Amino acid sequence: MKVAILAGGVGSRLSEETQVKPKPMVEIGGKPILWHIMMHYAQCGFKDFVIALGYRGEVIKKYMVDYCSLNSNLTVDLGSGRIDLHGDGERSDWKVDLIDTGINTLTGGRIKRLAPYIGGETFMLTWGDGVSDVNLTDLLAFHRAHGKLATLTAVRPPARFGHLQMNGCQVTEFSEKPQTAEGWINGAFFVLEPQVFDYIAGDDTQWEKEPLETLARQGELMAYTHTSFWQCMDTLRDKVYLEKLWQEGNAPWRTWQPTLTPTSERKVRINHGTDFLHP
């Protein structure tokens, strides 16, 4: 099953980081948040990705092309241009389509531009700036059970400030809660049928407006409620919070275990004059 990830936005509210790279490439624990999202999907067996690029898309392309070399020990022959990747690095059996969807294209337009690469099958969709410990297998089972065109993951909104419990003017309880206990918001992590492409007019369509509103009116939009961890990375404050969780070893979205290819004599050769890695 294809997993579509929207990674083309400017990320203006995180301008401290996004002047030189797209928001999905902002790092948590030394890895782009995009990598964290993909690792979560891959852990559940979803390893076929289609990434919608826009702002600074070349940064994501370069990262994916160089992924093996960035995560391996290397031997570089400067004379011949030969590079050997030693077999003690990180290997991921993912397939990643990197699709330019335009700098100014809105979210709906980006999704529609991915249609030729997704085909006529059920697919997953999420944003390139949010992490969660949502059970993706259960999410897919829920979608298949109800038979509608679209499923979104409903989550509790993150708390931006300390929560106060008061008796008159006296504070009886103070807590810095990661999420509020009231209300639901769209947390992305969609499962969609290919018919949803027909609900998107073009590049100027915002997915969260006409398409989702129409699907809801027609009774074709269902919500999978997720009450555990979910966090988007909209601001520097969000990034600092996620980094703190990761460094403390308390990152709920880390649903995977580190997997490294066993050390061996296996090597991968990159031929002189090519930009791609050939196994």
The verdict on residue 161 lying in a domain is no
Task: Provide the whole-model pTM.
Answer: 0.85
The verdict on residue 251 lying in a domain is yes
Model pLDDT, residue 258: 63
- Cβ-proximal residues to 102 (8 Å cutoff; 6+ apart), any chain: 8, 54, 109, 110, 113, 203
% of the chain surpassing 90 pLDDT = 65
The span from the CA of 230 to the CA of 139, in Å, is 14
The verdict on residue 142 lying in a domain is yes
Query: Please, are residues 224 and 186 in contact by the beta-carbon 8 Å criterion?
Result: no
Mean pLDDT computed over 222-237: 94
The span from the CA of 269 to the CA of 247, in Å, is 35
The verdict on residue 139 lying in a domain is yes
Displacement of CA 248 from its chain's centroid (Å): 22
120-148 pLDDT, tens digit each: 999 999 999 999 999 999 999 999 999 99
- 244 or 159, which is more confident: 244
49-105 pLDDT, tens digit each: 999 999 999 999 999 988 877 777 888 889 888 888 776 556 678 999 999 999 999
The verdict on residue 276 lying in a domain is no
Mean pLDDT computed over 198-224: 96
The verdict on residue 178 lying in a domain is no
The verdict on residue 221 lying in a domain is yes
- Domain of residue 217: give its range: 2-156+184-270
Question: In this structure, what CATH number is given to the domain that contains residue 227?
Answer: 3.90.550.10
The span from the CA of 211 to the CA of 196, in Å, is 8
The verdict on residue 163 lying in a domain is no
Produce one character per residue of 182-197: b if its CB has 16 or more CB atoms within 10 Å, e if not. Answer: eeeeebbbbbbbeebb
Total count of domains within the chain: 1
